[in-house]
Amino acid sequence: MHIVRYPGKGRFSSEGVVTAWDKNAGDSIENGDYLVQIEASGEWIQLESATEGMLLKVLSGVGCFVRSGDALAIIGPKGADISKVLEKLESKTPVAAAKSSPKPKAKPAVAVQSVQSTQPKKEEVMETPKSTGNPDSVVPILMPQAGQSMEEGTILSWKVKEGDPIEIGQVIMEIETDKATMEVEADAAGRIAKIVSSEGDIVEVKVPVAYLAEEGVDVDAYIASAGGASVPAADKAEAKPVAKSAAPAAQKTPTSVSASGRVKASPAARRAAADKGVDLASIGAGSGPGGRVLSSDVDNADVIPTEIQTHTLTKMRRAIAKNLSYSKQTVPHFYAKTTIDAGLLFSTYRQTKERFKCSVNDFVTRACAKAIRQYPPFRSQYKDTEIVENPAANIGIAVGTDDGLTVPVVLGADRMKLEQLAARTREVVESARNGKLEGMGQGVFTITNLGMFGVEEFSAIINPPESAILAVGAIREGVIVENGAMRPTRLMTVTVSVDHRVIDGVVAAQFLKTLKELLQAPEQLL
């Protein structure tokens, strides 16, 4: 049998996070098959199998934090007994690691859920060793780091309570990051012995929010030995002053305010408040659990601004500002545009949408996927002293939401037919509009379309660490001159922005030429 391990050496970072599995337990594996996708220091890595057989067990599910040498999966003959292999690996699990050290430096015990997540079947879950009552058997559950730029997360809700038993892959809480709302899965089985961060608390990444231990274990002793205290982690982490807009919350009903002074509110309530210019602190206790403010509370609030309003930047707005400023200041942008005869594209789209639900943007995405496959620089990233080429065309779709611009990603767009691509794009866009971002940090190229607003052409800022972005304008009526004669048709202008460190002007021109040819012969895209 073969154990697949995270290399974490050479050009790879020594640690990373599992973002997706390309294979499921029970699948047949060929030498060279893509197995798993890992994000390491902002770089997207796709590991291939070095052997053939059956994927007998996934050991590190989606969202798991892995270091050099950590076991990811077991491959072997169909029906092989893996019990002895598991026994050898058991000493390296998070539970065993916690037993060997009194400090909470074990791997994070939680994982962020992804649509592509491959959860182990219940019968495959390794049993947590029975506790001896020693506090060293305590396992910390940490606030996960979902993406390189994430520094803290807000706990929106706990799905478990103290005393509950949990299994690997079980959703235990929901968190809000600077970019999305996410469900968090357990990466270790056991019993929730102590929850130290409440709903609404803001907690730094990799800081404990709860602890696993058997009944009778002195968790407080473990926390004390680790140099901490049995108070919410957010209380210790939040030493900075509360923003001015949240200051009045300290005088409101205590149940509506978190330990850090932040008003407890749902993402929908925050969006509604931002739209109406309403200070959440002015609403008081909400109608949700623990006084949490809901969108209905915002709708019913009789608050009419009479002065100039100053709004503190949301986490998402700060993240957008930081990323785009970094991109524009550090990435040498180069722009190229072309105008496409979209007459046949438009008529083909209208005929196709009678067969299945699709949009013009789906045709553009499909054409980009084929072109990206042909030109590797368009799926590459600049990394100080090297250029890293990604194996697949993972395309980001820019989506405007109430909170700002988000970019969910369609993974493996180059491997999909138009109908499958259209359906998958609708799924990730809808998730983004509901506050859940898919494929975050895994994109190699982004498409942004303002055509629905009548914008004919524009230039976009590259979404780092990607090396290119395509700006799509409106399909409009126009004329083309051919052999001295004018012909009425429909026109569409597209502009590509590229990182000139990775993509030369000639390659950008070739990409646009190929894209134009594909869109002007749309039958190739079906």
Residues 6+ apart with CB under 8 A from 525: 363, 366, 367, 370, 418, 518, 519
pLDDT exceeds cutoff 60 at 430: yes
pLDDT exceeds cutoff 70 at 284: yes
Residues 6+ apart with CB under 8 A from 14: 8, 67, 68
C-alpha count within 13 angstroms, C-beta hemisphere, residue 136:
7
Asked if 372 and 512 sit in the same domain, the reply is yes
What was the pLDDT predicted at 376? 96
pLDDT category, 136, cuts 50, 70, 90? low
- What are 213-268's pLDDT values in tens digits? 999 898 988 888 776 544 433 333 333 333 333 333 333 543 355 544 567 776 66
Asked if 138 and 232 sit in the same domain, the reply is yes
Q: How many domains does the chain have?
A: 4
pTM to 2 decimal places:
0.49
- What are 145-173's pLDDT values in tens digits? 766 556 778 898 999 999 999 998 888 99
Token pair for residue 30?
Answer: 């060929």
Report how far residue 315's alpha carbon sits from residue 148's, in angstroms, rounded to the nearest whole number: 15
What was the pLDDT predicted at 5? 86
Asked if 322 and 305 sit in the same domain, the reply is no
Asked if 501 and 398 sit in the same domain, the reply is yes
For residue 487, give the DSSP letter: E
pLDDT category, 36, cuts 50, 70, 90? confident
The mean pLDDT of the chain is 79
Query: Among candidates 104, 321, 110, which has minimal Cα distance to 227?
Result: 104
What was the pLDDT predicted at 390? 92
For residue 102, give the DSSP letter: S
What was the pLDDT predicted at 289? 60
Domain boundary among 90, 109, 141: 90
Query: Residue 436 belongs to a domain with what CATH number?
Result: 3.30.559.10
Asked if 252 and 346 sit in the same domain, the reply is no
Asked if 278 and 391 sit in the same domain, the reply is no
Asked if 298 and 380 sit in the same domain, the reply is no
Report how far residue 417's alpha carbon sits from residue 423's, in angstroms, rounded to the nearest whole number: 10
Asked if 10 and 105 sit in the same domain, the reply is no
What was the pLDDT predicted at 14? 66
C-alpha count within 13 angstroms, C-beta hemisphere, residue 288:
22
The better pLDDT of the pair 50, 13 is held by 50
Cα-Cα end-to-end distance for the chain = 42
Q: What residues act catalytically?
A: 500, 504
Q: Which of 216-230, 341-355, 388-402 has the highest mean pLDDT?
A: 341-355
Across the range 503-507, mean pLDDT stands at 96
Could you tell me the residue range of the domain that residue 283 belongs to? 244-311
pLDDT exceeds cutoff 80 at 115: no
What was the pLDDT predicted at 415? 94
Asked if 259 and 307 sit in the same domain, the reply is yes
Residue with tokens 């993509």: 503
pLDDT exceeds cutoff 50 at 133: no
pLDDT category, 352, cuts 50, 70, 90? very high
Asked if 374 and 512 sit in the same domain, the reply is yes
The better pLDDT of the pair 446, 251 is held by 446
Query: Residue 48 belongs to a domain with what CATH number?
Result: 2.40.50.100
Token pair for residue 516?
Answer: 């134009």
The better pLDDT of the pair 307, 415 is held by 415
pLDDT exceeds cutoff 90 at 302: no
What was the pLDDT predicted at 117? 34
What was the pLDDT predicted at 359? 93
What was the pLDDT predicted at 15? 73
Asked if 327 and 475 sit in the same domain, the reply is yes
**Region of poorest pLDDT, from 32-46, 129-143, 352-366:** 129-143
pLDDT exceeds cutoff 80 at 361: yes
Across the range 100-123, mean pLDDT stands at 35
Asked if 187 and 232 sit in the same domain, the reply is yes
Domain boundary among 311, 341, 359: 311
What was the pLDDT predicted at 177? 75
The fraction of the chain above a pLDDT of 70, given in percent, is: 78
C-alpha count within 13 angstroms, C-beta hemisphere, residue 154:
22
Domain boundary among 294, 311, 328: 311
pLDDT exceeds cutoff 50 at 184: yes
